[in-house]
Amino acid sequence: MVRKMTQADREDFLRLSEIFYASPAVMHSIPFAYHERAFEELMRSDEYGDGYILEKDGKAVGFGLTAKTYSREAGGKVLWLEELFVLPEFRSCGLGREFFAMAEAQAIKEGFARIRLEVEEENGRARSLYERLGYKTLGYRQMYKELNV
């Protein structure tokens, strides 16, 4: 089951988020304060993004985050599938597919023009799922600059 995150999910989200950022699915870990900031922002407003808990038999076993932006290239709003994580022992249970179905339905309902996501090149399992769901590769190279926040 996929459901919207609530204030009561704080400890589960922080625990799962730390596991995710210690996994090979991401390039590097982040300070614990960033996990806390993300949760507080998700609880403050849905202006920039939404958080979801993925459950199996009533237990929080994963999470998904979406972010909202606008793109002239896409001709409208873009829903970013910011993060999706499921504990290894609960993968291949359909939770990822359920999260994508929910996110795509939300995007259509809210008039988004495109859905985007990022995936590590080495994460073949995730890439395979995304391709089966109809996602295509963009030819962009990601670049960034850290600001002293």
CATH of the domain at 103: 3.40.630.30
pLDDT at 26: 83
Residue 139 belongs to some domain of the structure: no
Q: Report the range of poorest mean pLDDT among 22-31, 49-58, 98-107, 112-121.
A: 22-31
- Closest to 41 in 3D by CA, of 32, 50, 52: 50
| 90 within some domain | yes
First to last CA, the chain: 35
| Domain, as residue range, for 105 | 2-132
Q: 148 lies in a domain?
A: no
Q: Is residue 43 in a domain?
A: yes
145 within a domain of the structure (yes/no): no
- Determine, yes or no, domain membership for 121: yes
Sign of torsion over alpha carbons 45, 30, 124, 73:
positive
The total of structural domains in the chain comes to 1
Average pLDDT in the chain = 93
Flag whether 67 is in a domain. yes
Q: What is the pLDDT of residue 149?
A: 64
Whether the pTM exceeds 0.85: the reply is yes
Question: Is pLDDT of 142 > 70?
Answer: yes
Q: Provide the total of helices (H) and of strands (E) in the chain, helices listed first.
A: 4, 5
- Domain contains 141: no
Beta-strand relationship, 59-71 and 76-86: antiparallel
Nearest to 50 by CA among 135, 140, 112: 112
* Contacts for 103 with CB less than 8 Å, ≥ 6 apart: 64, 66, 79, 81, 115
pLDDT digits (tens, 9 = 90+) for 3-45: 999 999 999 999 999 999 998 888 888 999 999 999 999 999 9
The answer to whether residues 84 and 74 touch, using CB atoms and an 8 Å cutoff, is no
